[in-house]
Structure 1
């Protein structure tokens, strides 16, 4: 598992954002730093010393070559640094808030009451990020701070026209007053990931533990469509909604044909999902017929549909092309049975915290 939080020491007092420059393997001509860079001064087996305009920074237990170009949020009072943006990763996500107005049965990050405004730090981090990046925006629920989010997009997108965004939102807080604001954004650069768990409003509302959520998400999807937004539907596959997956596919193709893509996702064993695993986990290795029919129907109607977080050996051969590697690199793992699998390089494997008894009846080398 790739660590996202590092132990540090620094002579600074206030939190700050910095980009690390180790320059290992880089010619002397490329050795230039900016005001928010910290260059490697020395390294040992235990520590790496960086120095820059922001002060001195000591990292523990890190190979300097593995953090070159990474953008950190340093919190001196806690002796920690968070890797906001990893230079060599395609999976960088900024956590806007831990607050949320839903209590989804399978929530991977249960909500908290406290909130810290990180937008100023995020804006600085984006200025230091790699060119042509796609940055995730997540929570909690980011649109609980909708005004701040829109302002952030306006500033960040004007200063970094090469960066795109992927926003995960429950779509409970959009209204018609947002239309002119949305239209002022370059919506070709933002993909809105919106969960729809069932075509049955009762099933959807029970999963998210919020009466009326289904009706609101439908209104929000219509509004996003009217604004010209790009939309990715996201459906976590579970026992409560698996029987209705084909009905959902029919609903998506008839009522929501404007969406750009639909992701059918396997369950992540963390947060509330870990507590409710036995009642939620749907074994798609033995019940793939449900998934296959929904996938076939959606694709036949022109909806770009993919399977996220499905180990390839649990997917029938004819459907593996629809199951890309989607688990973020920092939380991806493989079990012992994966060692000799010919598909390992193409497979997303498992979440690091997937249960040792994996739950898939049909599983093994593909």
Structure 2
């Protein structure tokens, strides 16, 4: 998430609004944060807030009782239609970028698993985020291509998840949804039936499988019985013809079993729409457990190549996420995707001379220092 620190005036509680760099119709002003407005200052009060990069204008807005934030920073990264949150302490966070392909609705940080490589810390003091998320959805551009609903585990919020999906269906009818879930809740047939009855026209559920057996999978996700719940959940989703993507994060406990996982998927779940093998994001639990999770990038090549080719030869749609091209055999390049959210994405200095940088995923910001030594510009 992109954020900046500024100074606020006349903001007593957090507010969420859509940015505009020019005047908007009267019926949109209450949810519009206007940026450096070329308007009479008497008109500023009709907007939800004013974002200013001129300190003199900010001081005047404060004296006038106008809700405002002053940023002494480059605002060129902000665009018309972005959605931001402003806190009373001056923190501005970008919740939605109109130019990004990687916008998310963060349903909750809570989860019913405890994966050893999860990048997302749990906030046990967190309250419901649903009303906030519904407000964000209502402000999103109608031409948004895709949104991911993520967590934590989104099914933890119960029926509120259905409210989010229905809001997207109604307000963003042409926007595809990616729901990231461990799929354990979908082991409940009735729950899956109700979920399917929402009939979102373009939703795919992305779930995780870290082993071809319960011993391996349950150890990685830190929860006994999780493997059987996830597998049953995937099968139930398939019964109702939901689109499913299966993801496997590559680390020390999974890389030598990638082909077995691929075989398990092919033998039991040929209906899935997509399988993705993913590089590790070194945040949260992954950072804490890095010593036990780490595997040399060169060591994964053979197992990854075998797994990808096994699935491809059986006409299953397979991709590789989050791994730079120079760390992959050339035979796997056509499966590699630019999958890292733009606000998490970085390239090492050595990458700037690489001839295939434009087609490369780059690295997570969190892994840049660790992986830089392994990168070889092409």
CA displacement 1:132-180 (0-9 Å, x = unmatched): 3311111111111121111221233123212221111111222122234
| Structure label with greater radius of gyration | 2
- After alignment, is 163-172 or 322-331 more displaced? 163-172
The match for 1:154 among 163, 166, 177 is: 166
Structure 2 counterparts to residues 21-100 of structure 1, below 5 A: 21-23=20-22, 32=25, 34-35=28-29, 36-41=31-36, 43-44=52-53, 56-68=67-79, 69-76=81-88, 78-100=89-111
Return 5+ residue gaps in structure 2 as ranges.
Answer: 38-51
Is contact 1:103–1:110 with CA below 8 Å preserved after alignment? no
Cα distance 1:160–1:339, how it changes in 2: closer, same or farther (>3 A)?
Answer: closer
Give TM-score scaled by structure 2 length. Answer: 0.87
CA displacement 1:246-296 (0-9 Å, x = unmatched): 111111111011111011001111111112222212233343110000000
Task: Count matched residues.
Answer: 355
- After alignment, is 291-300 or 160-169 more displaced? 160-169
- Superposition deviation, residue 327 in structure 1: 1.0
CA displacement 1:115-144 (0-9 Å, x = unmatched): 222222222222221213311111111111
- Superposition deviation, residue 38 in structure 1: 2.0
How far, CA to CA, are the matches of 2:194 and 2:115 in structure 1? 29
- Superposition deviation, residue 233 in structure 1: 0.4
Instruction: Identify the structure with the greater helix proportion.
Output: 2
- Superposition deviation, residue 93 in structure 1: 1.1
The match for 2:292 among 269, 279, 282 is: 279
Is contact 2:18–2:84 with CA below 8 Å preserved after alignment? yes
- Superposition deviation, residue 46 in structure 1: 7.1
CA RMSD of aligned residues (A): 2.5
Is contact 1:16–1:121 with CA below 8 Å preserved after alignment? no
How far, CA to CA, are the matches of 1:251 and 1:59 in structure 2? 55
How far, CA to CA, are the matches of 2:240 and 2:69 in structure 1? 47
Which residue in the other structure is 1:296 paired with? 309
Which residue in the other structure is 1:135 paired with? 147
Give TM-score scaled by structure 1 length. Answer: 0.89
Structure 2 counterparts to residues 99-118 of structure 1, below 5 A: 99-118=110-129
Is contact 1:48–1:62 with CA below 8 Å preserved after alignment? no
The secondary structure found in structure 2 opposite 1:66 is: coil
Cα distance 1:59–1:302, how it changes in 2: closer, same or farther (>3 A)?
Answer: farther
Which residue in the other structure is 1:201 paired with? 214
- Superposition deviation, residue 229 in structure 1: 1.3
The secondary structure found in structure 1 opposite 2:359 is: coil
Which residue in the other structure is 1:243 paired with? 256
Which residue in the other structure is 1:26 paired with? none
- Superposition deviation, residue 75 in structure 1: 3.0
Which residue in the other structure is 1:15 paired with? 14
- After alignment, is 37-46 or 95-104 more displaced? 37-46
The match for 2:241 among 222, 228, 231 is: 228
Structure 2 counterparts to residues 322-341 of structure 1, below 5 A: 322-341=335-354
Structure 2 counterparts to residues 212-223 of structure 1, below 5 A: 212-223=225-236
- After alignment, is 112-121 or 250-259 more displaced? 112-121
How far, CA to CA, are the matches of 1:41 and 1:274 in structure 2? 40
- Superposition deviation, residue 47 in structure 1: 9.6
How far, CA to CA, are the matches of 1:269 and 1:60 in structure 2? 31
Which residue in the other structure is 1:185 paired with? 198
How far, CA to CA, are the matches of 2:155 and 2:16 in structure 1? 24
- After alignment, is 164-173 or 38-47 more displaced? 38-47
Is contact 1:314–1:360 with CA below 8 Å preserved after alignment? no
Return 5+ residue gaps in structure 1 as ranges.
Answer: 24-29
The secondary structure found in structure 2 opposite 1:167 is: strand
The secondary structure found in structure 1 opposite 2:33 is: strand
How far, CA to CA, are the matches of 1:313 and 1:195 in structure 2? 26
- After alignment, is 251-260 or 60-69 more displaced? 60-69
